[in-house]
Structure 1
Amino acid sequence: MTTLFFNARRWLCAARRVPALALTLVVLALAAPRAVADGLAPATAGAESAASNALFERYDSGGQYDMTPITVSQLEDQLGRPDLQASAGKGSIAVLYPNVSEPFRSAFIGMIQGIEERTRLRVRSYPVDARFDAAALNAQLRRSCTKVVIALGRQGLNVAASLDRSIVVLVGGALLLSDAEIVNLNGISLTPDPALLFARLRALLPEIKRVIVVYDPKKTEWLLRIAREAAREQGLELASYEARDLAQAAQTYSAQFAAADSRRDAVWLPHDTTTVEEGTLLPLILKQAWNSGVPIFSSNVLHAKKGALFAMSPNNVELGRSLASSAEGAIAGELKKGVQPLRELHTAINLRTASHMGLTIGHGQQRTFDLIYPEP
């Protein structure tokens, strides 16, 4: 039986332009030389048979062309596979993730797990660092028929900036802290959606009417636009105060805690490296909140461990699933524009802080939280 040297990767890339009926015709066309070789064709096909054999002899050393031998019968079997039928023509998804050590590596592996669980497309993952070869990576993505790249983390995002313009890039697993960073980007930030933070606040403390936030407009204005709309929808007043440096932020917090009403006001700590600086400012905020009784909640789960009433953190596997859905949408021509805040979240509660505020969190309510501090 005649053996064909079939470049599977090139065929799959071309298949994105060939409908299912055309794939059947491809099989039938390729089956003709097999019929000749098996003696099933009429004698008048002899010349065509010789020409076909001569053509295939040109590829006898096809290993250098990245080809693998395959019979027409095997090709038919391959084309009939349900997973190939489902993904033919759609290409593959590439995931770029930072080549980092634990515990950060586990977070990205969780995202990749979610991506692979959600999509039926081929997923190829590439650990990247500052030494990556842009030309080699672009070549590899072309060979893999890559249609969408999911860039995880800051390093993944940096690498994605050097990719061919024909490839759609979705960002995920990275904190984006300014309008300048999110311009022309699409995907999901690691910043929790303010709507979910506010909903949890209302569930815990329904008497709260006003949320105070101190922010640097150069870093967090895009998030404040979302937060203002979320607050209006939930009947909350969002009192936002600009602070462009550490000193101004410290002064603003002191003034707001002094004037706040612990029965109706709460303070939100967003991801903002100016106004929620970890070294000196965060301890000051926590101390003022403890002394005044004004509840604080945070976009950073570590703050719940340190004394915030509650906070939220990424659910990495669910984030991966959402990114896979977005990637499939992009392939289908339904790309959701812009960077969205994160809605796939775990929530942490600090029971010591709650008790200090006179708030009782029963066992039933505790089960609605993924993390509890102090740890039992």
Structure 2
Amino acid sequence: MLLGLFLPGLVLAADTLAVIYPEAPPPYKQVFDQIVEGIEARHTDRLLRYPLEKNYSRTYLLSQLEADRVDMVVTLGRRGYSLIGELSGKYPLVSGALPLTPANTVPGVSLIADPDTLFSQLRNLSPTTQRIFVLFTDKSRWMVELAQKSAAKKGFELKAQSVNSLSDAVRAYQAILDGAQAETDAIWLPLDKVTSNETVILPMLLREAWDRRLVLFSSKPSHVKRGTLFSIYPNNQQSGERLAEMVKELYLGRAAPGVEPSRSQNVGVNLRTAVHLGLEYSPSLTRSFYRTFPQP
């Protein structure tokens, strides 16, 4: 069932924002609910929710948006994003709850963590690190370009290398491992299906980094549970707030935002890995961690 749900107490003549997102079971439902709460916190005019079941009618949805006099649209998740062909050009439009890249045709907030946040956490969690090694393909090049600017500001030397295939990545990582220094070097796994391949690359690096006592950190939150030192988890409320700001900027013609990385500060840390690396954290710093592993 598809419903436009009116929030009580809002003036109907106000600017109307539609939020289109999938009807999902827990725990995914909580993610979308939190993003919508963030949107609500920034958009104080009329807000309509359109939860989409798997077999929703696209025709009915589009006619409903017109009937409800919608002014601007936020889509969440892949089900919502699949509508951008029909929505683009008709409404100011942004997207979220996806690992968006600049290759996407719609602006929005990506699930991919901002390298600046990752490097800030690296400075906190491994103060002696000086060099960061990263391999990337064309799909993750945009993130490495952001990382280069951040590394320079934070005093890191970023050693970035482009590869084209999984076999290239394996050879390049082996060369990195052979020359890396445990006290001062770290390896960053970006969100890249080749250079962070979970079948070949991740197990190899987890094993080698453990044996060589090297810092390994990742852009993918699930990797911290498997043994990387840390990663960044999305802040759904914060993403929703930024999505509301972006779509309003488009609506008012004030800006043309592109795809922005997540600027969440929710750091997850593998304390077992930290102990193995000889890293000690104060109680106040530990309390600031969003999640820790292994979980009790």
TM-score by length of 2: 0.91
Counterpart amino acid of residue 150 in structure 1: V
Q: Per the alignment, in what secondary structure is the counterpart of residue 317 of structure 1?
A: helix
Q: Does residue 331 of the first structure (1) align with residue 251 of the second (2)? A: yes
Q: 1:209 and 1:336 mapped to 2: Cα distance?
A: 36
Q: Does residue 121 of the first structure (1) align with residue 41 of the second (2)? A: no
Higher helix share: 1
Alignment of 1:96-107 (within 5 A): 96-107=20-31
Q: 2:23 and 2:265 mapped to 1: Cα distance?
A: 24
Q: 1:355 and 1:247 mapped to 2: Cα distance?
A: 32
Q: Does residue 370 of the first structure (1) align with residue 290 of the second (2)? A: yes
Alignment of 1:187-226 (within 5 A): 187-217=108-138, 219-226=139-146
Aligned to 2:155: 235
* CA apart distance, 1:307: 0.6
Counterpart amino acid of residue 173 in structure 1: A
Aligned to 1:5: none
Q: 2:272 and 2:85 mapped to 1: Cα distance?
A: 45
Q: 2:243 and 2:74 mapped to 1: Cα distance?
A: 7
Percentage identity across paired residues of the two chains: 33
In the alignment, structure 1 segments of 5+ residues that lack a partner are: 1-80
What's the C-alpha RMSD, in Å, of the aligned pairs? 2.0
Aligned to 2:5: none
* CA apart distance, 1:208: 1.5
Q: 2:19 and 2:281 mapped to 1: Cα distance?
A: 41
Report if the CA contact (8 A) 2:100-2:109 is conserved: no
CA-to-partner distance for each residue in 1:326-349, whole Å, 9 max, x for gaps?
223223222342101111341111
Alignment of 1:1-376 (within 5 A): 83-84=10-11, 88-90=13-15, 92-128=16-52, 131-163=55-87, 165-177=89-101, 179=102, 181-182=103-104, 184-217=105-138, 219-376=139-296
Report if the CA contact (8 A) 2:133-2:188 is conserved: yes
TM-score by length of 1: 0.72
* CA apart distance, 1:82: 8.6
* CA apart distance, 1:175: 0.6
Which structure would you say has the larger RCO, counting Cα contacts within 8 Å and 6 or more residues apart?
2
- Decide whether aligned partners of structure 1 residues 148 and 345 sit closer, same or farther in structure 2, where only a CA change above 3 A counts: farther
- Decide whether aligned partners of structure 1 residues 250 and 100 sit closer, same or farther in structure 2, where only a CA change above 3 A counts: farther
Q: Which has the larger radius of gyration?
A: 1
Q: Per the alignment, in what secondary structure is the counterpart of residue 40 of structure 2?
A: helix
* CA apart distance, 1:155: 2.2
* CA apart distance, 1:131: 4.0
Counterpart amino acid of residue 330 in structure 1: L
Q: Per the alignment, in what secondary structure is the counterpart of residue 141 of structure 1?
A: helix
Q: 1:113 and 1:208 mapped to 2: Cα distance?
A: 38
